[in-house]
Amino acid sequence: MTTRPNPHLDIDNYDADADLMALNMGPQHPSTHGVMRIKLFLDGEVIIKAVPYPGYLHRGVEKLCEKLTFVQIFPIVDKHDYVAPMTNEQAMAVAFERTLGIEVPRRARYLRTILAELTRISSHLLWLGTFTLDIGGTIGGGASMMMYTFRERELILDCFEMLTGSRFHYNTHCVGGNRHEIPDGWVAVVKSIVATMKLRVPEYEQLCTGNEIFNMRSQGVGVISRDLALELGLSGPNLRASGVDHDLRRDQPFHAYDEVDVQVAVAQGGDCFARYQVRIAEFYESIRIVESLIDNIPEGPLSSQRPVKSTLAVKVKTGCHYHGIETPRGELGTYIIGGGDNKSASPYRLKIVPPSLHAMSALPYALVGHTVSDVVAILGSLDPIMGEVDR
Amino acid sequence: MMYVSGTGRAMYQTLLNFFRPVVTEGPRSEGSRAVRYRASFALVHNEHGEEACIGCKLCEKICPSDVIDVAAGGKIVSEATGKKRATCDDFTLNLQACLFCELCVQVCPTDAIVMLRVQEEPSYSREGLVLTMDKLYANEQNKPLAWGTGSKLMAMQDPKKGQPPKVKKPKAVVEKPVTEKPITEEGGT
């Protein structure tokens, strides 16, 4: 990497001999994980400045939530992070329950933990497939890895379909518990998935970790230092790859994580390879958590509240409440301002704090000094989902 | 030798694929779908052969995307049971904005609206995606119904599931002196 001044905040006064070229990457670029535009200022092939422009996938969900009641919000929030919809619902459910002080039965908490970890596996599978595809030409033309990971992801989606009846937009959580009881044979299916993943994750590691091209394209690329990561508010695997030992599953336990020993994976490099290492370690950790819980699901009711009959079933008091949970991408927070009176059934304001937005804010810092071909690698390794950023 | 055995195995796979059933209905046939798979809607009749919908509008109120329109009908006397019951005049479900969230099925007090295990056929016009009452009752006859009904979904979420039913405390019986009513002739016929 050549040493250059860091003019990305003062582009007008940049005095390079060569002319700068402005290049728009996206919004239809296949590796932007949705629709995002990055404006790149190039000196030759080296990036001098990068400006990301989100907003192409804005659907006005937060405004919509002000119209809907707390019961009706659950089917809507599935659409934010469309790679891991289950944890979106859980973030909302946990926020409402903590705000209202509702206890969740132990059976539902176990089920939610298993679902969250399976979602983490499926989300990281999709990330691994597309990341190797972004790096391109690394492993058998880049597409082989994606075929393998999508094969395994299909098993998990089938397992969710067996439980909830839907592959993606589940609506399986409600305030106070879960809606769908565990069907016969579901536990055996989860066990078979765990057994399969135990065999397959070492295979992925063999394909990538030792691969020289993969190492060259990911090591030392897109370094985010510990201080910068903290300053930008990164969370999840991106933060842990920069050497910060922070995981809400262990630090602020939700669901049944207080009954599980969560071992947080931390890497020190802060580059693309470190983020890859953290996510691979999270595969093993998720498999371990699911394995330890699946045999011990306690009997009992699935919900502590009576089943919803009316839209006015849940009411939040006046006041501001913030609660966050750890999703595959990091801390997904929900900020609720209760209705005007104490009996309002819909929020006055509901703000969703997505981890992907913070991950995307690292792009102007991480891209500078790299070449155009590294943009997709860095963007892919940060794993932002535009549906979550724009909402 | 490796080449021969490898070619043999590859040709064996080709032969197997040759006899595999041809996919006719989407990527996955109905048989391989999960039992709880949900898509599209139907209105059903109750065990007496009457239309089960009573036009209570609970589904219309809970729908997050507001796609259901119900027009309540008048009250009639049921021929089967001899009791008064409410009816539904018109029921429209617009699939264009439907989220398939299953909330309408869950709130239905008479299990009238259920979901199907097959998707609705694609349409060339917007009107084709609006399920009218006739289409919904035709779906009951022609298409496989999904597993979920209102009462089943309610039973799954019951917070008192698995617990022994509450035994009411027997009230302290105060023995009253039994006084026989005098039999009067007026009480008779």
pLDDT of residue A122: 92
Per-residue pLDDT of B33-77, as tens digits, reads 778 888 888 888 888 878 888 888 888 888 888 899 898 888 888
Q: Which domains, ranges and CATH numbers included, belong to chain B? A: 32-155 (3.30.70.3270)
What gap in Å lies between CA A388 and CA A385, rounded to an integer?
6
Residues 17-56 of B with CB under 8 A from A: 33-38
Distance, CA of A5 to CA of A1 (rounded, Å)? 12
CA distance A172 to A111: 11
Percent of chain A with pLDDT over 90: 14
Measured CA angle at A110 (ends A105, A112), to 5 deg: 95
| pLDDT per position as a tens digit, A348-363 | 888 899 998 898 888 8
- Closest-CA distance of chain B to residue A101, Å: 16
- Amino acid B124 reads Y
Answer left, alpha or beta for residue A307, where phi above 0 means left and psi between -120 and 50 means alpha.
beta
Of the residues A88, A180, A182, the best mutation for testing chain B's interface (the one with the most B CB atoms within 10 Å of its CB) is A180
Residue B41: strand pairing partners = B115
Kindly state the tokens that stand for A388.
Answer: 């979550």
Please answer yes or no on whether B38 and A165 come within 8 Å at the CB atom.
yes
Give the Cα separation of B146 and A199 in Å (integer).
35
Q: Residue B32: its pLDDT value, please?
A: 66
Interface of B with A in 66-95 (CB under 8 A): none
Q: What is the pLDDT of residue A195?
A: 92
Q: d(Cα A293, Cα B113) in Å, to the nearest integer?
A: 36
Is B159 at the interface with chain A, CB within 8 A?
yes
Topology, domain A61-390: Cytochrome-c3 Hydrogenase; chain B (1.10.645)
Asked if B152 is an interface residue toward chain A (Cβ–Cβ < 8 A), one would say: no
B150 touches chain A (CB under 8 A): no
pLDDT score at A34: 73
- The neighbouring-strand residues paired with A334 are A323, A352
- Rounded to the nearest integer, the mean pLDDT of chain A is 83
CA distances from B157 to A164, A180, A218, B82, B110 (A): 13, 7, 48, 33, 17
CB contact, 8 Å: B106 with chain A? Answer: yes
Prior bond to A75 cis, omega within 30?
A: no
Residues forming a β-bridge with B91: B70
Question: Is the reported ipTM for this assembly greater than 0.85?
Answer: no
Pick from A166, A183, A310: CB nearest B100: A166
Q: Which of A175, A186, A308, A312 to mutate to test the interface with B (most CBs of B within 10 A)?
A: A308
Q: Which of A302, A304, A312 to mutate to test the interface with B (most CBs of B within 10 A)?
A: A302
Single pTM value for the model: 0.82
Instruction: Give me the DSSP letters along B110-168.
Output: T--EEEESSPPPP-SSGGGGEE-HHHHHHHHHHSPBPS--HHHHHHHT-TTTTSPPPPP
Which chain A residue lies closest to B148 (C-alpha atoms)? A165
Chain B residues lying within 8 Å of A299, measured CB to CB: 162
Give per-residue burial for A335-362: e unless 16+ CB within 10 Å, then b: bbbbbeeeebbbbeebebbbbbbbbbbb
